[in-house]
Structure 1
Amino acid sequence: MSKFSVVILTLTFIGCQTNEIKIAQPKAEKIVIAHRGASGYLPEHTLPAKTMAYAMGADFLEQDIVLSKDNVPIVIHDIHLETVTDVAIQFSNRKREDNRYYVIDFTFEELKQLNVSERFDPLTNKAIYPNRFPLGKSSFKLHSLQEEIELIQGLNKSTGKNIGIYPEIKDPVFHLKEGKDISKIVLNILTKYGYKNKKDRCILQCFDANELKRIRTELKSELFLVQLMEFKEEETRLEEFSKYADGIGPWIQQIIIGKNKDGTWQISNLVSNAHQLHLKVHAYTFRADQLGDFSSFDELLNVALYEANIDGVFTDFPDKVVKFLNKN
């Protein structure tokens, strides 16, 4: 009998006697994406919110990108300014006919003059999430994609970590109508900072399927691409998405669709269908202060990550997701 056989028999005997030897099944890697930074604690898309999310252990930090008048990529969620800044006070005469203030109408230097706050309703001046960072307190500013990349890469150097970026091309059709090719500008910056292919810690996302396909085919990007999804009818397009994208980013309610009569959660086939096409699934948005029918944030995370088997979460509370994953 070989030494290998003796070892196997010994382990088998011990296992039968004590029932202590168990082979653990490895869990698939789950990633934490800081949605607009640690936006549950600090105003979204500010450098302090990104720094906090970095310290909380997120795997990726998200950057929504809109162009300024002078073609600087600005990290802000919308093409408009009035829901997160004091633009209506500082530049009251710069709104368009629809009464909106557009990022693209301001130079980078002008945008840097604005004060950033927690998201609010400009009609009532009340915070969208009243229990988050108080409106009008402290000092926060807008910044460029380059500034954020340099912050993250600087922290990677000083901490020895390798936290990634997760930029989103916002409203490319709007930018093209304004005479600007936002995707080309952003890709050039990403390349300059060393984000070139799937091995680099950069995931590029967009809701516009035509634009994301263009990024892959016409602009020849080799980055990891994620097709964001919002509508149920898009679920029939997974095979099409798989031709150019590496993953999908659906709304969580496209995955967890309700409760059965016995109290268990109904899970759609979206994740399993995507996995069959080798697409990763990063779902949005997980908020501890917006739970819906879930009894706790942990319950929501457990259903999404383990019952539905998604691969990653966009969350305003990266610390809570990191803590949940570490104990499960």
Structure 2
Amino acid sequence: MTASSPAPLVIGHRGASGYRPEHTASAYRLAFELGADAVEPDIVATSDGVLVVRHENEISTTTDVADRPEFAARRTTKTVDGVRLTGWFTEDFTWAELATLRCRERLPKIRPSNVAHDNTEPILRLRDVLAIVDERSVAQIRPLRVVVEIKHDHYFRQLGLDLVELLLAELQATGWADRPEQLIIEAFELGALSRLREAGVRARLVFLAERIGSPADEVAAHEANHGYKARSYAWFRSNEGLDLLATVVDGISVAKWNIIRLNALGRATGTSDLVQRAHDRGLLVYTWTLRPENRFLNLRFQTSVHGAEWGDWRGEFALVLASGVDGIFVDHPDIALAARKERP
């Protein structure tokens, strides 16, 4: 990390999503106002190939689409990466149509204060987020970063929408194609990252690994050729998997539960050796998502049965930081910075 961005990198997860509905302009601006080093937009595509910023391509829980009678007929059921979903999907809308929708809080029961901001801001394109990063970099006189997450790469390719190609074009059009110190790209599918590497993208590439299951492109390869065994996310975290990743990407991003070591009762007792094993192979390690609410904390750090109340977040944050991770995804950048400052 540079002097202006000490380790670990504090990344505003979909902006400052603890204080504003995720993926809104106000969430991204607030993340930087609170001191975040970077923000993380998730990208999916519209029917006309525009990269929009949504956590998922199914948008019924994060927009007002369900209340829009003109789009009622778009409600449908699809299987996305093996999961059957019913709702409204970005790929069934043009950008002009999506631009008329307004964002809503995804976790209203956990973050009721965010609901006050519902229906006040439009969906953003990736280029809108990049413009905000540029704006705040100038204002803060430091090069802020963006962590672009590619969502459902294989799924969209099957629809004729190549997110890698669309992203490369977007980076070129926005002036972000030559900013390797500011740009990080991550994906749950190694194939997407390999194609970016082959295309010569100038960015730090990070492989996302879920706790369980296998990447969608691995499952698809197995279905196309039953002689091929899909590699699991757990395999990618093994020494053999990390050896492979070190030849393709710059880092790995894992759930905090892969960093925290648990006892038989599920209580945190320390940290795993994953960070050290990855570092031994020259890989950076990021982790997600550090949140203060009891619902999201390990049992050891929960202070009540009320999920929306804040528990001993300082204890859990300190434990994760002690593992030596290089980056943390957070919904509340201000408290993450406080934890980083308090780190021994």
- Which TM class, normalised by the smaller chain length? 0.7 to 0.9
The one-letter code matched in structure 1 to 2:192 is E
Out of 57, 64, 68, the residue aligned to residue 86 of structure 1 is 64
Is 1:112 the counterpart of 2:118 in the alignment? no
Out of 269, 274, 279, the residue aligned to residue 275 of structure 1 is 279
Hey, what's the Cα distance between the residues in 2 that align with 1:193 and 1:178? Answer: 25
Hey, what's the Cα distance between the residues in 2 that align with 1:153 and 1:304? Answer: 30
Out of 333, 338, 342, the residue aligned to residue 318 of structure 1 is 333
Task: Give the drift of 1:324.
Answer: 1.8
Indicate if the aligned counterparts of 2:105 and 2:118 stay in contact, CA closer than 8 A.
Answer: no
The one-letter code matched in structure 2 to 1:300 is E
Hey, what's the Cα distance between the residues in 2 that align with 1:136 and 1:60? Answer: 23
Hey, what's the Cα distance between the residues in 2 that align with 1:156 and 1:34? Answer: 15
Hey, what's the Cα distance between the residues in 1 that align with 2:268 and 2:254? Answer: 21
Indicate if the aligned counterparts of 1:40 and 1:132 stay in contact, CA closer than 8 A.
Answer: no
The one-letter code matched in structure 2 to 1:67 is A
Indicate if the aligned counterparts of 2:314 and 2:339 stay in contact, CA closer than 8 A.
Answer: yes
Secondary structure in 1 matching 2:114: coil
**Post-superposition CA distance 1:102-123 (Å, at most 9, x none):** 1011111111111211015xxx
Is 1:164 the counterpart of 2:145 in the alignment? yes
Give the count of matched residue pairs. 293
In structure 1, the residue matched to 2:83 is none
Task: Give the drift of 1:174.
Answer: 1.1
Hey, what's the Cα distance between the residues in 1 that align with 2:155 and 2:113? Answer: 31
Is 1:245 the counterpart of 2:259 in the alignment? no
Indicate if the aligned counterparts of 1:194 and 1:200 stay in contact, CA closer than 8 A.
Answer: no
Indicate if the aligned counterparts of 2:18 and 2:332 stay in contact, CA closer than 8 A.
Answer: yes
In structure 1, the residue matched to 2:208 is 228
Compared with structure 1, are the counterparts of its residues 128 and 188 closer, same or farther at alpha carbon in structure 2 (3 Å cutoff)? farther
Secondary structure in 1 matching 2:340: helix
Q: CA RMSD in A?
A: 2.1
Out of 66, 72, 75, the residue aligned to residue 95 of structure 1 is 75
In structure 1, the residue matched to 2:298 is 292
Secondary structure in 2 matching 1:134: helix
In structure 2, the residue matched to 1:8 is none
Compared with structure 1, are the counterparts of its residues 39 and 130 closer, same or farther at alpha carbon in structure 2 (3 Å cutoff)? closer
In structure 2, the residue matched to 1:30 is 8
Hey, what's the Cα distance between the residues in 2 that align with 1:130 and 1:292? Answer: 19
Secondary structure in 2 matching 1:227: strand
Indicate if the aligned counterparts of 2:14 and 2:42 stay in contact, CA closer than 8 A.
Answer: yes
What residue ranges of structure 1 are gaps of 5+ in the alignment?
1-26, 121-126
The one-letter code matched in structure 1 to 2:203 is L
Out of 34, 37, 48, the residue aligned to residue 70 of structure 1 is 48
Indicate if the aligned counterparts of 1:34 and 1:61 stay in contact, CA closer than 8 A.
Answer: yes
What residue ranges of structure 2 are gaps of 5+ in the alignment?
79-85, 213-233, 302-311
Question: Superposition pairs for residues 85-234 of structure 1, below 5 Å?
Answer: 85-90=63-68, 91-98=71-78, 99-119=86-106, 127=108, 129-134=110-115, 137=118, 139-196=120-177, 199-217=180-198, 219-230=199-210, 231=212, 232-234=234-236
Hey, what's the Cα distance between the residues in 1 that align with 2:250 and 2:99? Answer: 35
In structure 1, the residue matched to 2:317 is 301
Secondary structure in 2 matching 1:158: helix
Compared with structure 1, are the counterparts of its residues 326 and 210 closer, same or farther at alpha carbon in structure 2 (3 Å cutoff)? same
Task: Give the drift of 1:128.
Answer: 5.2
Hey, what's the Cα distance between the residues in 2 that align with 1:142 and 1:67? Answer: 12
Indicate if the aligned counterparts of 1:166 and 1:203 stay in contact, CA closer than 8 A.
Answer: yes
Indicate if the aligned counterparts of 1:33 and 1:58 stay in contact, CA closer than 8 A.
Answer: yes
Task: Give the drift of 1:253.
Answer: 0.5
The one-letter code matched in structure 1 to 2:297 is L
TM-score in terms of structure 1 length: 0.84
Task: Give the drift of 1:137.
Answer: 4.1
